[in-house]
Chain A
Amino acid sequence: MTFINYASREINCKIVYYGPGLCGKTTNLQYIFDSTAPQARGKLISLATETDRTLFFDFMPLELGTVRGFKTRFHLYTVPGQVFYDASRKLILKGVDGVVFVADSQEERMDANIESLYNLEENLQSQGYDLMKIPYVLQLNKRDLSNIVPAEDLASELQRKGEPVVEAVASTGVGVFDTLKAVAKQVLTELRKG
């Protein structure tokens, strides 16, 4: 939920990166963290297992700059992708302002993408949101691998409402900021509507 503080002249928004296990949600955040000036971002908090799988969430606050005298801060979260962490995923969607769905482009992960996308729609609904109305971006990740589904096929399977589609290689940063920009723009545009 967007929070506008007149006293500190700040606006805070929440963006959640969603997607199947090992699709690269944490890698997106890690790249943003590594390539952003320390004064523009806070710590990257990772609640992960001993094998670096996300257990609860990753979190990172990011300051983008000033609009009309208000500092715009985005709180970036990831969800745990593994199927059995569904209760945690629901909790993290509370108060969300925008969602990035990170799809794994590998052929063998197609079913996992579809299952995760259904799960996103369900969990958004359980929190009172509608995927068709919320700021939303589809990222096609891992485009550098050899065993990938063509981008057009992946998009036609996963695109829900004409949302922006960004091809990415999160590990090297390709498409990472384009994705963030696409969702942040939609969130701020929603604010304009009031």
Chain B
Amino acid sequence: MADTPILLREQQYHQIKAVLARLRMDASAKVVFLVDKDGQEIASQGEVGNLDTTSLASLAAGNVAATGGMAQLIGEKEFPTLSHEGEKDSIHISVVGRLLLVVVFDERSSLGLVKLRSKQVSHQLATMFEEIAAGDFDDESPFAGITDEDIDSLFS
């Protein structure tokens, strides 16, 4: 297998949430969330309300993957940022290592501000996530002791 599981501890989760909360405030954004490049939502912050963040995370990852594929076809490594501007709400996505930082904003903010603030926290998030990715899975996996009965119970 190419990948080992990502294990996010409670303290790390709250650190990430704090960074996202600050970004959301500094960028005057509606919602900020962090997504793994494979489409898994890691954390979100803001006016989530009825927003389907799980689907949005998956589509954001698909979007970045598709444009990344296009980038490679024209000889680029990837397109590090993507922006989609709507009539009222817009989305800005920046690639931070294996993460995507997704910012949803409206007329209270601007693309320039969102880009600037996203860039400012990118390094910090990348460093935090490197530590998370380097974490030892074996020690703390809650699943090391699961039984066949535990698994079967999910389908009963």
Whether B54 and A94, one on each chain, are in contact in the complex, defined by CB atoms closer than 8 angstroms, is: no
The contact string, 1 if C-beta is below 8 Å from chain A, for chain B 33-57, is 0001111101000000000101100
The contact string, 1 if C-beta is below 8 Å from chain A, for chain B 136-147, is 011001111110
What is the distance, in angstroms, from B96's C-beta to the closest C-beta of chain A? 16
Separation of A69 and B5 alpha carbons in the complex (Å): 18
Shortest Cβ distance from B53 into A: residue: A42
Q: Is A37 close to B, CB under 8 A?
A: no
Q: Which of A56, A90, A129 contacts B62 (CB 8 A)?
A: A56
The contact string, 1 if C-beta is below 8 Å from chain B, for chain A 81-112, is 00000011011101100000000000000000
Q: Is B87 close to A, CB under 8 A?
A: no
Residues of B within 8 A of A4 (CB): 5-8, 141-142
Whether A65 and B154, one on each chain, are in contact in the complex, defined by CB atoms closer than 8 angstroms, is: yes
Specify the main secondary structure of chain B where it touches its partner: mixed
The contact string, 1 if C-beta is below 8 Å from chain B, for chain A 132-159, is 0110000000000000000000000000
Separation of A56 and B64 alpha carbons in the complex (Å): 13
Separation of A92 and B142 alpha carbons in the complex (Å): 28
Q: A162-192: which residues lie under 8 A (CB-CB) from chain B? A: 177, 181, 184-185, 188-192
Separation of A74 and B138 alpha carbons in the complex (Å): 22
Residues of B within 8 A of A87 (CB): 69
Whether B6 and A3, one on each chain, are in contact in the complex, defined by CB atoms closer than 8 angstroms, is: yes
Separation of A68 and B1 alpha carbons in the complex (Å): 24
Q: Which of B1, B39, B68 contacts A14 (CB 8 A)?
A: B39
Separation of A181 and B66 alpha carbons in the complex (Å): 30
Q: Which of B3, B138, B154 contacts A67 (CB 8 A)?
A: B154
Whether A192 and B54, one on each chain, are in contact in the complex, defined by CB atoms closer than 8 angstroms, is: no
Separation of A12 and B43 alpha carbons in the complex (Å): 13
Q: A2-B5, A3-B6 are in contact. Are A188 and B151 (CB under 8 A)?
A: yes
The contact string, 1 if C-beta is below 8 Å from chain A, for chain B 1-31, is 1111111111001100000000000000000
Q: Which of B59, B66, B145 contacts A88 (CB 8 A)?
A: B66
Whether B37 and A194, one on each chain, are in contact in the complex, defined by CB atoms closer than 8 angstroms, is: no
Residues of A within 8 A of B55 (CB): 42-43, 45, 59, 61
Q: Is B65 close to A, CB under 8 A?
A: yes
The contact string, 1 if C-beta is below 8 Å from chain A, for chain B 50-81, is 00101100110010011011000000000000
Residues of B within 8 A of A1 (CB): 3-6, 36, 38, 40
Q: Is A38 close to B, CB under 8 A?
A: no
Separation of A90 and B58 alpha carbons in the complex (Å): 16
Residues of B within 8 A of A192 (CB): 143-146
What is the distance, in angstroms, from B4's C-beta to the closest C-beta of chain A? 8
Whether A91 and B39, one on each chain, are in contact in the complex, defined by CB atoms closer than 8 angstroms, is: no
Whether A8 and B36, one on each chain, are in contact in the complex, defined by CB atoms closer than 8 angstroms, is: no
Q: Is A53 close to B, CB under 8 A?
A: no
What is the distance, in angstroms, from B133's C-beta to the closest C-beta of chain A? 10
What is the distance, in angstroms, from A16's C-beta to the closest C-beta of chain B? 11
Q: A6-37: which residues lie under 8 A (CB-CB) from chain B? A: 6-8, 11-12, 14
What is the distance, in angstroms, from A104's C-beta to the closest C-beta of chain B? 25
Extra contacts, 11 of them, besides A6-B13, A67-B153 (Cβ < 8 A), are A43-B55, A59-B39, A68-B143, A72-B154, A94-B38, A127-B2, A134-B1, A177-B155, A184-B154, A188-B146, A191-B141
